[in-house]
Structure 1
Amino acid sequence: MRYKTHKITLDPTFKERRWFAQQCGYARFAYNHALSDFKAGLDADNFQSWQTLNDNFNKIKKCYDWTSSQDQRAALYAIKNLGQAITNWVSKRAKFPKFKHR
C-alpha cells in the first residue's frame, strides 16, 4: 500500500511568527507551573491528576495579566502532555518529567 503525502511549507508573517512564539512560551509556562505543582504535591504525598493541575493553573493564571491574551488551548494541551508524561513515568516507561526551557 502506498501513502500519498503532501508537504506544506508555512510562510508566516512577522505577526504570525510572534504569535506562534508567544503560544510556545505560554505552553512552556503552563507545563513548568503544573510540573512544579505536581512535584510539590508528591512531596506532600498528594498525587494530582492532570485535570487537577489544569484547574490549579486556571486559578493561578488570573494573577498574570498577559495570559488573558493567550490561547487557552496552548496551556490545556501542555498540561495534558504533562499528564501523559506522568503516566509514562508511573508505568516505568520513561523517566520523571523535566522542566522545559527555551
Structure 2
Amino acid sequence: MPQTTSHIKNSKLILRNRNSNKKYKIAIKQSIKQYLLSVKSIITTNNQDTLKLCQDNLSTVYKKIDKAVKKNILHKNTAARKKSRLAKLLK
C-alpha cells in the first residue's frame, strides 16, 4: 500500500488509465470478432453484400486501432501487425 501522498495519487491515476485503456482494448477485440464473423460468412456464401459488410467492418477495426495508437494504448508496430493480419484474411 502506498504511503506517501504522491504515490497515492499516482496509484489512482494508474487505475483510471488502466480502466480507460481496457475500454479501448475491449472495443478493438469486439470489432475484430465482428470482422472475423463477417469473413466467415463470406467463405460460406459468395455474396457482394457480405463483401461490402466485411470491408466496412475492416475499416471500423482500422479506425479503432488507429485511435488506440494515437492515444498511446497500442504500440504502432503492434497495430501494424494486427492490421496486416486482418487484411490478409480478406484476400
* Bigger relative contact order (CA 8 A; separation at least 6): 1
Task: Pick the structure with more helix per residue.
Answer: 2
- TM-score normalised to structure 2 length: 0.47
